[in-house]
Amino acid sequence: MLAEDLHRMAAHERAQQLQYDHHIIVCSGTACRSANSEAVRQALEQQVQERSQIGVCTVTNGGCRGLCAAGPMVSVEPAGLLYQGVTPADAGAIVDSLGSAPVPHILCDTSAAFFSKQRALVLEFAGNLDPDRIESYLANGGYDTLLKAVTEMTPTQIRDEIVRSGLRGRGGAGYSTGLKWNTVAKAQSAEKYVICNGDEGDPGAFMNRSEMEDYPFRILEGMTIAAYAVGAQQGYIYVRAEYPLAVSRLKGAIRQSEKLGLLGNGIFGTSFNFNVDIRLGAGAFVCGEETALIASVEGKRGNPRPRPPYPAEHGLWGHPTLINNVETFANIVPIIRNGSEWFAGIGTAKSKGTKVFALSGRIQNTGLVEIPMGMTLREIIYDIGGGIPGGRHFKAVQTGGPSGGCITAQHLDLPMDYEALMQVGTFMGSGGMIVMDDSSCMVDVARYFMEFCMTESCGKCIPCRVGTAQMFDLLDKITRGEATLDDLALLEELADMVRNTSLCGLGQGAPNPVRSTLRYFRDEYLSHIVDKVCPAGVCKMQHREEVLP
Amino acid sequence: MTNRVLTLQINGQEVSGREDETILEVAREHDIHIPTLCQLEGLSSIGACRLCLVEVANVPKLLTACITPIQEGMEVHTESERLNHYRRLVIEMLFSEGNHICSVCVSNGHCELQNMAQLLGVDHVHLPYRNPQRRVDASHDRFIFDPNRCILCTRCVRVCDEVEGAHTWDLKARGIQSQVMTDLNQPWGDSTSCTSCGKCVHLCPTGALFEKGKSVAEMSKRREFLPYLTIMRGKHR
Amino acid sequence: MQKLLVPAPSDDKRWRMVTATMRRHGYRRDALIEALHSAQEAFGYLDSQSLQYVARSLNLPLSQVYGVATFYSFFTLKPPGEHTCVICLGTACYIKGAGEIIASIQDHFDLKPGQTTPDDRASLLTARCLGTCGLAPSGVFDGEVVGNLTPENVAERLEEWLDHAG
Ligand SMILES: Cc1cc2nc3c(=O)[nH]c(=O)nc-3n(C[C@H](O)[C@H](O)[C@H](O)COP(=O)(O)O)c2cc1C
Ligand code: SF4
Ligand code: FES
Ligand code: FES
């Protein structure tokens, strides 16, 4: 495919779309699907037919709108209407209302803070693209950026743009993406690889799932630009097997891109070649860690290895390998298209751009939100998230998953950026935010995370393998009301040791939830240990009767 | 490839080594002792036991001496109160994980775990014992595997794969459930790939792998084949 | 070098899927996990025949194949029941009461995670986040993702499968 073909296809698709007066777009993400959006789409198609609106109105699949708990979501363009909780029975009314007043009882208020405070960059087009059809992507400027990159820019220029943009990895650690690309580019080797990390193992995080489901082409385009910028010929997308829809979307996207020559040999008539394959995870959290991920792509047990050497120099089959998170790759197209200055204008001094968060737990609006870096937690939870349901009180929010920590009410005005989160003892992680109210027991939460780390530990290094099991036993003992203050001291001793001596980030991060809850909720631990009482009433204390007066 | 010679400091002493050498290799060449358990010359290093962790100036994290290559001007410290504390905890963790009853063990007196505990001054284990129930495998004609004494150093797995080329041993499951096993988790005696070479038995640091019918006195392990292989491999490189 | 292909263990048509996956990857060793996925998809679990076939075809040691198959929790070496119920125990689901659902299944049906009912009708499994945290607590019933679970609606579905009156 050459530039002319790309533009011709895009123009053709746009012309096709213009033939219709109305577009009904039904969310086909995992959450809406499980709320029966397939049946809604079929009902809408049938109604369009019955009301002889064919040729006037189209019904297509779209992506996630963020409000996952309110699905199935249906939007109507160009009227800009959004409906929530749609059932097949509503289909007739929706089709009848086209061009006139909307259907009131399912109408979603898009001027609400949930929508107005967000800034869509990664989640651009707010789900209006059909993730199954490359034409839909092309009509909206898809692959224009790759064309610009490979025909007008040198690899060095692209890397400079990424460095200047200030983009930092969205997979957790927040390492400068530009610097990582430079390291891979400078490494001497005839073979290089690009890997997209779609393992998303943090329970409570589902940003990457949505990004892969809704923007498979955008991720491929970002990876292809990265490959051109670092000199790689082969790419892999590592997706966890729990995401079957993401896998099939990505497979479809690869097939369609290959067919048009947007992947393969001689992309846009240049000498640049790039192919992408999918590798399935198989239920191992540790495989999100980059060296374990490489072992898994090689078909082995997902055991991490010590770094240095880093994958950028010594990665897949020993060759220089660029590993970035799904969302990092999703940011590449907007940066190259709009320029690094534009991107660097969003966010805070050291954290640029936006971040997609997955809000869940005890919060009104569970779902996906994208905000500019630096927004306060209060705005996210109360304005966008709609606050805590059931008249309960906010207690804490867990970020960074099982290696992260909690942020409490005293830090509600904290701006969300990499450094600020680090300062209060947690970290950005991939963007999961689990809100807890006063019905959650923090010791129970710490115990939960430790059990997670214990069962997900690969078992290679001693501190993580034995340490997480020992710490889990101690936490379990505390939640049973059988622990002593000596046990607490031992727990703290082990937390320090496991953090400092474990081989990889899983073990190094495993003590974090304990350290963080001890920092902010030590009194809850003491109630369990000294008074044998669980203040939130979650833990079943074995010894309660004996101690109560 | 040319190998530059780099200079660095270990415990304040000026030392030098080739740029492809690890901190551990350079330390050993200069008779500086760093405790190790999973590492063994002649096998690949995996950095699993964490005993060899050292402090390096201006690096916030502890580094694995057996794997980390040296760098010009590096300032390495191999001993500190903190490192010793962590190393003792590692040993305690190993004792707490399995069932190590030295008095009834064939390796009593020449067990590397026992020696390391003495060296590091571990006189008692203050972690709760986990008391796993693991079945002893005595199905092999000549050898016995007692998983209760296994510390998962994976020396057996590596020597069987890297030196003997049989790859009879590997790990099953993960985390605290991991264990070494043969073939499809079959009794060792039924293994179709085992050559009965005994290399695993000789490299096992504890009494987890031992020869049938040998008394404590006879149980010293022979490792002559390893340095020889290291030399041969070096020549091939 | 022409590699001798290993014949499938039987003429069961399902082996073709496994063979096709390995062929597509050129019988390279790194196809191991992909091959195990295919075998589990074809047969529902991985028995020693599958493991041996994959090991021989990819020229891998048996112990390595067994090690990989048991490292990843997605793979199971036991045949599952006729129906499978997966309850998510990810954080969002846990905070919203997934633990109570597991406990109530245990109480009502005497079924623990990882177990199958004695009549082989249903298996209970757990997952670590299905990515539908917005619908927490969520689960998967025979491949279909279901959100907003409660002990009651889970019991209802299980009873339907088990045909027993609670
Ligand atoms: C235990 C563990 C789990 C991880 N899981 C993920 C993951 O699911 N997705 C991800 O992108 N990065 C994950 N990471 C971080 C990766 O190792 C790596 O830093 C990241 O993929 C780099 O991409 P980025 O620079 O774009 O953030 C994990 C790290 C650890 C230690
Ligand atoms: S820290 Fe845990 S997961 Fe990482 S290598 Fe050690 S045992 Fe494996
Ligand atoms: S000797 Fe280095 S980690 Fe074991
Ligand atoms: S935590 Fe259950 S779906 Fe994410």
On whether the CB atoms of residues A377 and A404 are closer than 8 A, the answer is no
pLDDT in the model for residue B217: 57
A neighbour chains, 3+ CB pairs within 8 Å: B, C
Alpha carbon distance A66, A117 (integer Å): 13
Cα four-point dihedral sign C32, C38, C41, C46:
negative
- Which protein residues touch ligand 3 with a CB less than 6 Å away? B 36-39, 47-52, 64, 66
CB atoms within 10 A of CB A523: 11
- Domains of chain A plus CATH, in order, are 16-115 (3.40.30.10), 141-344 (3.40.50.11540), 354-437 (3.10.20.600), 442-546 (1.20.1440.230)
On whether the CB atoms of residues A222 and A331 are closer than 8 A, the answer is yes
> What does the DSSP 8-state code read for residue C6?
P
Q: Does domain C14-71 have CATH number 1.10.10?
A: yes
pLDDT digits (tens, 9 = 90+) for A12-25: 999 988 889 999 99
pLDDT in the model for residue A327: 96
Classified as helix, coil or strand, C88 is: strand
Alpha carbon distance A170, A432 (integer Å): 12
C-alpha dist (Å) from residue A516 to A368, A407, B96: 25, 9, 27
Residue B230 has pLDDT above 60, yes or no: no
On whether the CB atoms of residues B17 and B8 are closer than 8 A, the answer is yes
Please judge whether B184 and C48 are an interchain contact, meaning their C-beta atoms are less than 8 angstroms apart: yes
Three-state secondary structure along A492-508?
HHHHHHHHHHCCCHHHH
B45 CA → ligand 3 middle, Å: 7
Residue A357 has pLDDT above 80, yes or no: yes
Nearest to C33 by CA among A280, B169, A254: A280
Give the confidence band of B63 by pLDDT, cuts at 50, 70, 90: very high
Angle at A78 between CA A74 and CA A84, to 5 degrees: 20
CA A286 to chain C, closest CA, distance in angstroms equals 10
Instruction: Kindly give, in sequence order, each residue whose CB lies less than 8 Å from that of residue A539, ignoring residues fewer than 6 positions away.
Output: A441, A443, A444, A479, A480, A481, A528
Q: Is A307 on the interface with B (CB under 8 A)?
A: no
Measured from the Cα of B175, ligand 2's closest atom is 7
pLDDT in the model for residue B228: 46
B86 CA → ligand 3 middle, Å: 13
On whether the CB atoms of residues A65 and A73 are closer than 8 A, the answer is yes
Percent of chain A with pLDDT over 70: 99
Residues of chain B neighbouring C48 (CB-CB closer than 8 A): 184
Q: What is the mean pLDDT of residues A136-164?
A: 96
Which residue's structure tokens are 């670092």? A230
User: Choosing among C63, C68, C128, which should be mutated to test the B contact, i.e. which has the most B CBs within 10 A?
Assistant: C63
Q: Is C132 on the interface with A (CB under 8 A)?
A: yes
pLDDT in the model for residue A476: 96
| AA identity, residue B94 | L
Q: Is A500 on the interface with B (CB under 8 A)?
A: yes
Percent of chain B with pLDDT over 70: 89
Q: Which runs of consecutive H residues, i.e. helices, occur in A19-100?
A: 30-34, 37-50, 91-97
Q: Which fold has domain B5-79?
A: Ubiquitin-like (UB roll) (3.10.20)
B48 CA → ligand 3 middle, Å: 6
Which residue's structure tokens are 């005994």? B198
Alpha carbon distance C151, A549 (integer Å): 35
Residue A185 has pLDDT above 60, yes or no: yes
pTM for this prediction: 0.92
pLDDT in the model for residue A34: 86
Range of lowest pLDDT (A63-67, A437-441, B154-158, B190-194): A63-67
pLDDT digits (tens, 9 = 90+) for A327-348: 999 999 999 999 999 999 999 9
pLDDT in the model for residue A29: 85
Alpha carbon distance B31, B67 (integer Å): 18
Q: What is the mean pLDDT of residues B169-176?
A: 97
pLDDT in the model for residue C164: 54
On whether the CB atoms of residues B199 and B225 are closer than 8 A, the answer is yes
Q: Does residue A432's CB lie within 6 angstroms of at least one atom of ligand 1? A: no
CA A421 to chain B, closest CA, distance in angstroms equals 19
Q: Which ligand is nearest to the CA of A462?
A: 2
On whether the CB atoms of residues A430 and A173 are closer than 8 A, the answer is no
pLDDT in the model for residue B220: 65
The dihedrals phi and psi of A246, each to the nearest 5 degrees, come to -60, -40
pLDDT in the model for residue A428: 85
Q: Is B153 on the interface with A (CB under 8 A)?
A: no
Using an 8 Å CB-CB cutoff, list residues of chain C that contact chain B.
48, 51-52, 61-67, 70-71
Tokens representing A1 are: 């495919």
**Where does B105-225 sit in CATH, by number?**
3.30.70.20
How much of chain B is helix, strand and coil, in % rounded to 5?
A: 30, 15, 50
Give the confidence band of A43 by pLDDT, cuts at 50, 70, 90: very high
Residue A404 has pLDDT above 50, yes or no: yes
pLDDT in the model for residue A543: 59
Alpha carbon distance C116, C121 (integer Å): 7
Q: What's the alpha-carbon Rg for chain A, to the nearest Å?
A: 25
Alpha carbon distance B91, C29 (integer Å): 36
Which residue's structure tokens are 């003491």? A526
Q: What's the alpha-carbon Rg for chain B, to the nearest Å?
A: 19
Residues of chain A neighbouring B50 (CB-CB closer than 8 A): 461-463, 501-503
Residue ranges covered by each domain of chain B:
5-79, 105-225
pLDDT in the model for residue B224: 60
Q: What is the mean pLDDT of residues A518-532?
A: 96
Residues of chain C with pLDDT under 70: 1-4, 164-166
Using an 8 Å CB-CB cutoff, list residues of chain B that contact chain C.
161, 166-174, 181-185, 192-193
Nearest-10 Cα torsion for B161, B162, B164, B165: 60
On whether the CB atoms of residues A260 and A1 are closer than 8 A, the answer is yes
Give the confidence band of A354 by pLDDT, cuts at 50, 70, 90: very high
Nearest to B51 by CA among B3, B11, B4, B84: B84
B178 CA → ligand 2 middle, Å: 12
C neighbour chains, 3+ CB pairs within 8 Å: A, B
| For ligand 4, mutation pick of C95, C96, C126, C132 (most atoms within 8 Å of CB) | C132
Cα four-point dihedral sign B212, B216, B217, B220:
positive
On whether the CB atoms of residues B154 and B171 are closer than 8 A, the answer is yes
pLDDT digits (tens, 9 = 90+) for B80-126: 999 999 999 999 999 999 999 888 888 888 899 999 999 999 988 99
CB atoms within 10 A of CB A283: 18
State chain B's mean pLDDT as an integer: 90
User: Choosing among A300, A319, A368, A449, which should be mutated to test the C contact, i.e. which has the most C CBs within 10 A?
Assistant: A300
On whether the CB atoms of residues B206 and B154 are closer than 8 A, the answer is no
A285 CA → ligand 1 middle, Å: 10
Three-state secondary structure along B91-133?
HHHHHHHCCCCHHHCCCCCCCHHHHHHHHHCCCCCCCCCCCCC
Tokens representing A524 are: 């809850």
Alpha carbon distance A255, A261 (integer Å): 10
Percent of chain B with pLDDT over 90: 81
pLDDT digits (tens, 9 = 90+) for A252-262: 999 999 999 99
Residue B143 has pLDDT above 90, yes or no: yes
CB atoms within 10 A of CB B186: 17
Residue ranges covered by each domain of chain C:
14-71, 83-163
Residues of chain C neighbouring B167 (CB-CB closer than 8 A): 61, 63-64
Tokens representing A122 are: 């990664």
| For ligand 3, mutation pick of B64, B76, B151 (most atoms within 8 Å of CB) | B64
| AA identity, residue C13 | K
pLDDT in the model for residue B237: 32
Q: Which fold has domain C83-163?
A: Glutaredoxin (3.40.30)
pLDDT digits (tens, 9 = 90+) for A269-290: 999 999 999 999 999 999 999 9
Q: For atom 20 of ligand 1, which residue has the closest CA?
A: A171
Residues of chain C neighbouring B169 (CB-CB closer than 8 A): 63
Give the confidence band of B216 by pLDDT, cuts at 50, 70, 90: low
| AA identity, residue B230 | T
On whether the CB atoms of residues A453 and A402 are closer than 8 A, the answer is yes
Q: Is the peptide bond before A320 cis (omega within 30 degrees of 0)?
A: no
Q: Does residue C139's CB lie within 6 angstroms of at least one atom of ligand 4? A: no
Interchain CB contacts (distance < 8 Å): B and C: 42
Query: Rounded to an integer, what is the distance from CA B179 to the centroid of its chain?
Result: 15
Alpha carbon distance A436, B5 (integer Å): 56
Cα four-point dihedral sign A147, A152, A157, A163:
negative
- Report the residue from B173, B174, B183 with minimal CB separation from C63: B183
Q: Does residue C130's CB lie within 6 angstroms of at least one atom of ligand 4? A: yes
State chain A's mean pLDDT as an integer: 93
pLDDT in the model for residue B235: 36
pLDDT in the model for residue C1: 46
